């Protein structure tokens, strides 16, 4: 028997998983499989297990109904590539080397979760958005979208071979994943990474979902009209729905009678239309985007909206709120397709008798702003983008549990290794939260720092100068406070009391009476920078 199987058989989880078949006592328990589903930019605000204001997501919710919902789940660096590198390595960005999308190339020769799983006898597959530039390593099978991926007729790289697949990205990604499950070696446990492109910008819904939320008027978030008083860094960004969301590229108001962008006519709207046409027009910049039939269905839905938009000539507050409603309708329609596809994955596992020994994880590469502070996008250490949804169905455990301990995406690798009954290498910076899933109280858990779960989180964002202009920053978050330092072309500290000011509108840094808490938090920040060995510490 391979050593990993021996270990898995003795772990509490593997035994719990076997509990379901205790009648058949002669059958040894099977090692756990893992289906790790990660969306791109899926906010917890648009998962009904977390928030019922905007959309119902019954299939995603089922994972937490039959398992656990993490109510304090965070990322280490709120951006796609960096988040994926944290997942693969269990390390913060400075330690895994992938700090930002713009210049990052993932060093695939380093130790990674899939490689450790493979060495432990697992079959591994990566399907969908990869976004780490270098070719995937450590996978028995990989079939990835190019770059950000396209919504329609997307280009995949299947183990080095380029393929254009016809249809809608979320459906196709699921098809590829289920095909792999069908053809896998059933004698081995598996770990499948299923990474959707959805609901990343520019939020293009599946044809069958166009218009499904047109009757809904979404409530404006409380901080929609934030004036950024007391927060210089919050004001200095280019991710405002009013100023930066493009009505053509983002909201699909392409005037098809207009002229194509030329270098002599580089208006923003024209620029937007060009990008948009890349997705929309067949055979244009990238071969294989929408075909004539898809485009006709798309136009039949959007053309009347475009006509109305042109006629109404909105401006100011009316335009701002109109943009928000269109954004929410498109985004939620894209989520509806994700939810349907999560249902397909669940049905597959159930129909193939896999639910009893397969862990199902649902998460996102980071959180996302749904108009809070007037924003879309992510990047900031503010709550909406620092947090990320995390729902886990671990077989053999109680249903409907909330886990409120602080977890972070550097914890996924050690957790999955422990689920597989494999040792966690010492240089991994995250902690396994498997004991928390098994019902152990956080105070009783043994972590690399000793007894008891972590009480604070470390964050570091690097991508500046870059699109959206969010300044570089690092910070610490405790149960009650969030302290961040924006640096590079700015030197601003922000301190929030999350109990008194959960929306983070009032920067307390430097206010009389906050000296003690500031000193304490800066000390904790420094402790974390030393603990994780972040070279930035020299600049504090």
Stretch that binds ligand SGN, among 195-203, 380-388, 410-418, 499-507 (CB under 6 A): 195-203
Q: How far is the CB of 503 from Ca ion (least distance, A)?
A: 23
Instruction: Output 131 or 393, the one with its CB closest to ligand SGN.
Output: 131
**Residue ranges with strand state E in 432-528:** 446-447, 450-451, 456-461, 472-478, 481-487, 492-497
In this structure, what token pair is assigned to residue 425? 């290498």
Q: How far is the CB of 130 from ligand SGN (least distance, A)?
A: 11
**Chosen from ligand SGN, Ca ion, none, partner binding at 514 (C-beta under 5 to 8 Å by type):** none
- Label residue 126 left, alpha or beta by phi (over 0 means left) and psi (-120 to 50 means alpha): beta
**Chosen from ligand SGN, Ca ion, none, partner binding at 273 (C-beta under 5 to 8 Å by type):** none
Return the closest-CA partner of residue 70 out of 419, 407, 376. 407
Residue 481, exposed/middle/buried by CB under 10 A (0-12, 13-18, 19+)? buried
Among residues 40, 66, 321, 330, the one that binds ligand SGN under rule CB under 6 A: 40
Q: Under the criterion CB under 6 A, does residue 201 sit at the interface with ligand SGN?
A: yes
Q: How far is the CB of 368 from ligand SGN (least distance, A)?
A: 9
**Chosen from Ca ion, ligand SGN, none, partner binding at 468 (C-beta under 5 to 8 Å by type):** ligand SGN
Stretch that binds ligand SGN, among 136-144, 153-161, 197-205, 421-429 (CB under 6 A): 197-205
Q: How far is the CB of 94 from ligand SGN (least distance, A)?
A: 18
Residue 35 DSSP SS3: strand
Task: Read off φ and ψ for residue 502, nearest 5 degrees.
Answer: -65, -20
**Closest-approach residue to Ca ion (CB):** 80
Among residues 56, 467, 492, 534, the one that binds ligand SGN under rule CB under 6 A: 467
CA–CA gap between residue 222 and residue 316 (Å, rounded): 19
As a dihedral over the C-alpha atoms of residue 185, residue 191, residue 196, residue 199, rounded to 10 degrees, the angle is 150
**Chosen from ligand SGN, Ca ion, none, partner binding at 101 (C-beta under 5 to 8 Å by type):** ligand SGN
Stretch that binds Ca ion, among 79-87, 127-135, 138-146, 435-443 (CB under 5 A): 79-87
Q: Under the criterion CB under 5 A, does residue 383 sit at the interface with Ca ion?
A: no
**Chosen from Ca ion, ligand SGN, none, partner binding at 467 (C-beta under 5 to 8 Å by type):** ligand SGN
Q: Under the criterion CB under 5 A, does residue 365 sit at the interface with Ca ion?
A: yes
Q: Which helix (H) or strand (E) holds 379?
A: none
The residues near 413 (Cβ < 8 Å, ≥ 6 apart) are 87, 88, 89, 90, 112, 113, 116, 428, 430
Q: How far is the CB of 200 from ligand SGN (least distance, A)?
A: 6
Give the ranges where 190-229 is alpha helix by DSSP (H): none
Instruction: Output 270 or 478, the one with its CB closest to ligand SGN.
Output: 270
Q: Under the criterion CB under 5 A, does residue 463 sit at the interface with Ca ion?
A: no
Q: Under the criterion CB under 5 A, does residue 40 sit at the interface with Ca ion?
A: yes
Within 10 A of 406 (CB to CB), how many other CB atoms are there? 20
70 DSSP β-pair partners = 403
CA–CA gap between residue 475 and residue 64 (Å, rounded): 30
Q: Under the criterion CB under 6 A, does residue 200 sit at the interface with ligand SGN?
A: yes
190 DSSP β-pair partners = 123
**Chosen from ligand SGN, Ca ion, none, partner binding at 377 (C-beta under 5 to 8 Å by type):** ligand SGN
CA–CA gap between residue 515 and residue 523 (Å, rounded): 12
Q: Under the criterion CB under 5 A, does residue 385 sit at the interface with Ca ion?
A: no
DSSP string covering 284-305:
SSSTTS--HHHHHHHHHHHHHH
**Closest-approach residue to ligand SGN (CB):** 80
Q: Under the criterion CB under 6 A, does residue 197 sit at the interface with ligand SGN?
A: no
Instruction: Output 377 or 418, the one with its CB closest to ligand SGN.
Output: 377
In this structure, what token pair is assigned to residue 71? 């109510």
Which residues within the stretch 78-137 sit at the binding site for ligand SGN (CB under 6 A)?
A: 79-80, 101, 131
Instruction: Output 370 or 525, the one with its CB closest to ligand SGN.
Output: 370
Among residues 33, 77, 78, 80, the one that binds Ca ion under rule CB under 5 A: 80
Contact 367, 59 (CB under 8 A): no
Contact 199, 40 (CB under 8 A): yes
Q: How far is the CB of 514 from ligand SGN (least distance, A)?
A: 33
Stretch that binds Ca ion, among 78-86, 278-286, 428-436, 494-502 (CB under 5 A): 78-86
Count of residues that bind ligand SGN according to CB under 6 A: 13
Among residues 169, 202, 358, 364, the one that binds ligand SGN under rule CB under 6 A: 202
**Chosen from ligand SGN, Ca ion, none, partner binding at 92 (C-beta under 5 to 8 Å by type):** none
Return the closest-CA partner of residue 530 out of 451, 481, 458. 458
Return the closest-CA partner of residue 422 out of 191, 194, 192, 193. 191
Task: Read off φ and ψ for residue 251, nearest 5 degrees.
Answer: -110, 5
Which residues of this protein are in contact with Ca ion, per CB under 5 A? 40-41, 80, 365
Rule CB under 6 A: which residues touch ligand SGN?
40-41, 79-80, 101, 131, 148, 200-202, 377, 467-468
């Amino acid at each position: 028997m391979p050593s990993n199987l021996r270990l898995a058989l003795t772990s509490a989880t593997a035994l719990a998983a076997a509990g379901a078949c205790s009648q058949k006592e002669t059958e040894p328990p099977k090692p756990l499989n893992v289906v790790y589903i990660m969306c791109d930019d899926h906010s917890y605000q648009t998962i009904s297990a977390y928030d019922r204001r905007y959309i119902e997501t019954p299939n995603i919710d089922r994972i937490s109904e039959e398992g656990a919902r993490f109510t304090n789940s965070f990322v280490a660096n709120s951006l796609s590539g960096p988040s994926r590198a944290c997942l693969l390595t269990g390390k913060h960005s400075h330690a895994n080397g992938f700090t930002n999308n713009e210049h990052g190339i993932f060093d695939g020769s380093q130790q990674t979760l899939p490689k450790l799983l493979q060495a432990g006898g697992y079959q591994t597959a990566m399907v969908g958005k990869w976004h780490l530039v270098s070719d995937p390593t450590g996978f028995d099978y990989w079939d990835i979208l190019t770059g950000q991926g396209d919504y329609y007729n997307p280009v995949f790289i299947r183990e080095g071979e380029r393929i254009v697949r016809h249809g809608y990205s979320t459906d196709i990604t699921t098809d590829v994943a289920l095909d792999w499950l069908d053809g896998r070696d059933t004698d081995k446990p598996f770990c499948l990474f299923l990474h959707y492109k959805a609901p990343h910008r520019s939020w293009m819904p599946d044809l069958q979902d166009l218009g499904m939320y047109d009757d809904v008027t979404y409530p404006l978030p409380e901080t929609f009209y934030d004036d950024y008083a007391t927060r210089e860094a919050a004001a200095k960004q280019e991710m405002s729905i009013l100023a930066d969301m493009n009505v053509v590229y983002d909201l699909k108001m392409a005037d098809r009678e207009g002229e194509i962008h030329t270098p002599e006519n580089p208006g923003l709207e024209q620029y937007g239309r060009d990008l948009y046409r890349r997705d929309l027009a067949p055979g244009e910049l990238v071969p294989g985007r929408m075909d004539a039939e898809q485009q006709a269905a798309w136009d039949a839905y959007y053309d009347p909206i475009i006509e109305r938009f042109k006629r109404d000539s909105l401006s100011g507050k009316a335009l701002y709120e109109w943009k928000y409603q269109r954004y929410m309708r498109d985004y939620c329609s894209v989520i509806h397709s994700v939810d349907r596809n999560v249902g397909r994955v669940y049905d597959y596992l159930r129909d193939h008798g896999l639910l009893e020994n397969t862990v199902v994880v649902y998460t996102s590469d980071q959180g996302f702003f749904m108009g809070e502070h007037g924003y879309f996008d992510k990047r900031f250490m503010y709550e909406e983008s620092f947090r990320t949804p995390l729902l886990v169905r671990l077989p053999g455990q109680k249903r409907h549990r909330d886990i409120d301990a602080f977890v972070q995406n550097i914890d996924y690798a050690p957790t999955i290794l422990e689920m597989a009954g494999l040792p966690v290498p010492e240089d991994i910076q995250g902690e396994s939260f498997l004991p928390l899933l098994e019902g152990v109280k956080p105070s009783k858990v043994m972590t690399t720092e000793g007894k008891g779960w972590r009480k604070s989180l470390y964050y570091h964002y690097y991508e500046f100068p870059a699109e959206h202009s969010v300044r570089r920053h690092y910070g610490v978050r405790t149960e009650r406070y969030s302290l961040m330092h924006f640096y590079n072309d700015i030197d601003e500290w922000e301190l929030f009391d999350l109990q008194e000011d959960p929306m983070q509108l009032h920067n307390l840094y430097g206010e009389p009476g906050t000296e003690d808490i500031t000193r304490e938090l800066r000390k904790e920040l420094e402790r974390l920078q030393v603990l994780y060995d972040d070279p930035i510490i020299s600049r504090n």
